[in-house]
C-alpha cells in the first residue's frame, strides 16, 4: 500500500521512502510525521522521569517537524527499531599484524551490516616487498589489504547502502607513490576498456564497481612537510587529483591541534567524508541545522537558532547514550568522549534568499560570524549538559587541550562532549529538507543527481526566484580561491573538520591545484578535496 500524504515535497518524499521509511504492520510505509515521532520518542527515552521525557520528545519532534534540525541517516532509519546502531561513521585501528588486520576487517563487516561507514589509517602496515619476520615471506603492502576491505564492503551491504570507506596513508610511507597513483591508473584502464568495447550501461556499472572505486583515499600530511618546501610528493598528489580528484589531503597536525584529549591518542584517521577526525574505535554522531529555516521577512533569527542549537546538542548527546554497535570497543570509547558532529545545510539557499552572492566578501564575513555563533552556543550547551549530567568520562581538567574552548573566549569549565561541531555533506537529509547540501554552493542552475537507485532531476525554487539577478553563483561560477576561503571561514570555528569540494573548471592546471593545497594549509584547513570538472569517468552530479 502507498504512503499517506506527507509534509515533504514529492522529491523529498521519494528519497525519504527509499531510505528511511519503515514498513508498518498494516503494510503501509511510515509517513514523515510517524518517522520523526518514532525517532523523537526513542531519543527522549533516556531522560529522567516521564514529564522530562515528554518535554524532550516534544522539543525533538518540533525541530524535526519544522525541519530546522535533522539527525544523520542512521538515526532517522534506526531509532526506535530493533537496530541499535544510530551512527553513520566509525574509525578502526589497523596494526601491522594479521590479527589486527582481520579483527578490524571483521569489525568493519559488522558495521557495514548495520549501515555504517569506516575510516582507517593503513600506515602501520609495512611496505610492499618488505620482509615479514614471523614467516620469512614478503609483505603485500597496504593497497592489497585496502582491496580486501573494499571487497568486504561490496559483499556486505544494508538495504542497498554500500559501506563507505576512507583509506589514509601517511606521506612518509614507503608505498605512498603507489597509493597516490592507484585511482588514476584504474581510470586509465577503465577508459581504455570503454573505448574498446563501447559505453554500454552494463559495462559502465561493472567498471564503476572496480576495486577501490568506492574507497575514498587521502594522504596524511604534516606541518613539517608543508614547511619543508620539498614538494615532490605534493606535486604527485596534485597531478593525480587533476586527473580524477583523488587522493584528498588530511592535514593531520592541524587536526590534532584541536584534539581535546591527546592523552587518549592521535587523530590518525577520519570518517569516510573527512568531516570528523576520530580516535581509534570512535564514532561520529551527526546532525545538521537547516540554515534556510532561520531567515524570514528579511531577518535572520539568531534567537531561534540559539534555541534549536540547544535542542540539537541535547538530542545528539542522547543518541550517544543510546547507541549500541556490535563492536564493544566502539561503545566504550564513544561514550568516553561523546564526540558530536553538529553541522549545517542549506547555506546556498540562505545566501540566495538574503541576496548575498556566495563568492562575495559579505558572504565570507556573514559565515564567519555564523560559524562563531554556532560554535560558541554549542559549547555553552555542552557546559550546561555537563552540569546536569557530568562531563565526558575521559575528561581530565589538568590534561585536556583547551584550544577549542579558549578560541571562543569561554571560561574553562567541564564539558559534556570532546567536540561538537562538524560540517558534513548532508546528502540525503538535505534533499529531504529541500535545501542544498552542507556549505556547498548550488552545483548548477539545473542539474541531475546520479544515485544508487536511479537518476533524478534536481531543481531549486530559490535559484529560479533569484536567477534574474546576479545573486546566485553556482559551483562553476566561483573561483577555487573563494571555495577555499569559504571552507576556511567555517573551519576557523568548527571543532572537528569541514567536508567541502573545491571545484575547479576543466581547464584548471596542476599548478592551480598545488596553489590550492598550499592556500588550504596556510588558512588552517584540516583537509581538502579538489575536483576538476569532468575529470571523473562517473560523476554524481552532472550539469544539464
Q: Which of 89, 216, 273, 503 is catalytic?
A: 273
Which positions ≥6 away from 130 have C-beta within 8 Å?
138, 139, 174
The answer to whether residues 153 and 163 touch, using CB atoms and an 8 Å cutoff, is yes
Q: Write out the three cell numbers for 451.
A: 544515485
Q: Based on the number of CB atoms within 10 Å of its own CB, is 476 exposed (0-12), middle (13-18) or buried (19 or more)?
A: middle
Closest CA to 435 of 315, 330, 300, 344: 344
Q: Which of 85, 88, 256, 271 is catalytic?
A: 271
Q: Which of 190, 240, 275, 417 is catalytic?
A: 275
Measured between alpha carbons, how far is residue 52 from residues 132, 294, 299, 482 in Å? 58, 27, 33, 46
The C-alpha angle 488, 492, 495, rounded to 5 degrees, equals: 120
Please tell me what DSSP assigns to residue 264: G
Max Cα–Cα distance, the chain, nearest Å:
73
CA 329 to chain centre: 22
CA distance 410 to 406: 6
CA distance 78 to 85: 7
The answer to whether residues 502 and 530 touch, using CB atoms and an 8 Å cutoff, is yes
CA distance 364 to 380: 24
Active-site residue flag, 190: no
The answer to whether residues 540 and 450 touch, using CB atoms and an 8 Å cutoff, is yes
In what helix (H) or strand (E) does residue 384 lie, and over which residues does it extend? Answer: helix 361-389
Provide the sign of the torsion angle of the four alpha carbons 440, 319, 371, 513, taken in this order.
negative
- Tell me if residue 274 falls in helix, strand or coil: coil
Q: Write out the three cell numbers for 101.
A: 588486520
Active-site residue flag, 271: yes
In what helix (H) or strand (E) does residue 100 lie, and over which residues does it extend? Answer: helix 98-113
Residue 299: HSE in the Cβ half-sphere, 13 Å Cα cutoff: 6
Active-site residue flag, 285: no
Please tell me what DSSP assigns to residue 29: B
The C-alpha angle 31, 35, 37, rounded to 5 degrees, equals: 115
CA distance 51 to 536: 54
Q: Write out the three cell numbers for 321.
A: 547514550
CA distance 424 to 496: 10
Q: Write out the three cell numbers for 463.
A: 535559484
Measured between alpha carbons, how far is residue 19 from residues 72, 111, 159, 318, 431 in Å? 12, 18, 8, 23, 11
Q: Write out the three cell numbers for 25.
A: 504492520
Catalytic residues: 271, 273, 275
Amino acid at each position: 500500500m502507498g504512503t499517506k500524504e506527507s509534509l515533504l515535497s514529492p522529491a523529498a518524499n521519494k528519497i525519504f521512502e527509499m531510505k528511511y521509511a519503515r514498513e508498518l504492520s498494516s503494510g503501509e510505509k511510515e509517513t514523515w510525521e510517524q518517522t520523526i515521532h518514532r525517532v523523537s520518542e526513542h531519543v527522549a527515552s533516556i531522560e529522567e522521569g516521564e514529564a522530562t521525557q515528554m518535554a524532550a520528545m516534544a522539543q525533538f519532534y518540533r525541530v524535526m517537524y519544522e525541519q530546522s534540525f535533522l539527525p544523520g541517516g542512521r538515526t532517522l532509519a534506526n531509532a526506535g527499531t530493533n537496530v541499535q546502531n544510530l551512527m553513520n561513521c566509525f574509525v578502526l585501528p589497523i596494526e601491522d599484524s594479521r590479527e589486527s588486520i582481520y579483527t578490524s576487517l571483521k569489525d568493519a563487516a559488522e558495521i557495514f551490516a548495520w549501515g555504517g561507514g569506516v575510516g582507517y589509517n593503513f600506515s602501520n602496515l609495512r611496505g610492499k616487498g618488505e620482509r615479514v619476520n614471523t614467516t620469512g615471506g614478503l609483505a603485500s603492502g597496504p593497497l592489497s589489504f585496502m582491496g580486501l576491505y573494499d571487497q568486504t564492503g561490496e559483499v556486505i551491504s544494508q538495504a542497498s547502502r554500500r559501506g563507505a570507506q576512507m583509506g589514509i596513508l601517511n606521506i612518509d610511507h614507503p608505498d605512498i607513490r603507489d597509493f597516490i597513483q592507484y585511482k588514476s591508473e584504474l581510470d586509465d584502464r577503465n577508459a581504455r576498456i570503454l573505448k574498446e568495447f563501447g559505453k554500454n550501461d552494463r559495462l559502465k556499472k561493472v567498471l564503476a564497481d572496480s576495486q577501490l572505486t568506492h574507497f575514498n583515499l587521502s594522504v596524511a600530511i604534516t606541518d613539517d612537510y608543508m614547511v619543508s618546501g620539498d614538494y615532490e610528493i605534493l606535486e604527485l598528489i596534485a597531478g593525480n587529483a587533476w586527473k580524477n580528484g583523488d587522493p584528498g589531503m588530511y592535514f593531520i597536525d592541524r587536526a590534532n591541534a584541536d584534539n581535546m584529549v591527546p592523552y587518549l591518542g592521535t587523530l590518525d584517521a577520519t570518517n569516510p567524508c573527512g568531516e570528523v577526525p576520530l580516535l581509534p574505535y570512535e564514532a561520529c554522531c551527526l546532525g545538521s541545522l537547516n540554515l534556510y529555516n532561520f531567515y524570514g521577512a528579511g531577518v535572520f533569527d539568531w534567537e531561534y537558532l540559539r534555541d534549536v542549537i540547544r535542542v540539537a546538542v541535547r538530542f545528539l548527546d542522547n543518541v550517544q547514550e543510546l547507541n549500541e554497535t556490535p563492536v564493544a570497543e566502539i561503545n566504550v570509547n564513544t561514550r568516553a568522549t561523546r564526540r558530536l558532529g553538529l553541522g549545517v545545510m542549506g547555506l546556498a539557499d540562505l545566501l540566495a534568499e538574503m541576496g548575498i552572492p556566495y563568492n562575495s566578501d559579505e558572504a565570507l564575513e556573514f559565515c564567519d560570524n555564523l560559524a562563531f555563533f554556532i560554535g560558541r552556543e554549542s559549547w555553552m550547551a555542552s557546559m550546561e549538559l555537563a552540569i546536569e549530567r557530568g562531563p565526558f568520562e575521559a575528561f581530565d581538567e589538568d590534561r585536556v587541550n583547551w584550544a577549542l574552548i579558549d578560541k571562543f573566549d569561554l571560561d574553562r569549565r567541564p564539558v559534556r562532549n570532546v567536540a561538537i561541531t562538524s560540517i558534513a555533506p548532508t546528502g540525503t537529509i538535505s534533499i529531504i529538507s529541500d535545501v542544498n547540501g552542507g556549505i556547498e554552493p548550488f552545483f548548477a542552475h539545473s542539474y541531475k543527481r546520479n544515485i544508487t537507485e536511479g537518476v533524478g532531476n534536481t531543481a531549486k525554487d530559490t535559484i529560479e526566484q533569484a536567477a534574474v539577478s546576479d545573486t546566485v553563483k553556482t559551483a562553476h561560477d566561483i573561483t577555487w580561491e573563494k571555495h577555499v576561503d569559504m571552507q576556511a571561514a567555517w573551519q576557523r570555528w568548527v571543532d572537528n573538520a569541514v567536508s567541502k569540494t573545491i571545484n575547479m573548471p576543466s581547464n584548471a592546471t596542476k599548478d592551480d591545484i598545488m596553489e590550492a593545497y598550499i592556500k588550504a594549509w596556510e588558512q588552517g584547513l584540516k583537509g581538502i578535496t579538489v575536483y576538476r570538472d569532468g575529470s571523473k569517468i562517473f560523476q554524481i552530479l552532472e550539469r544539464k
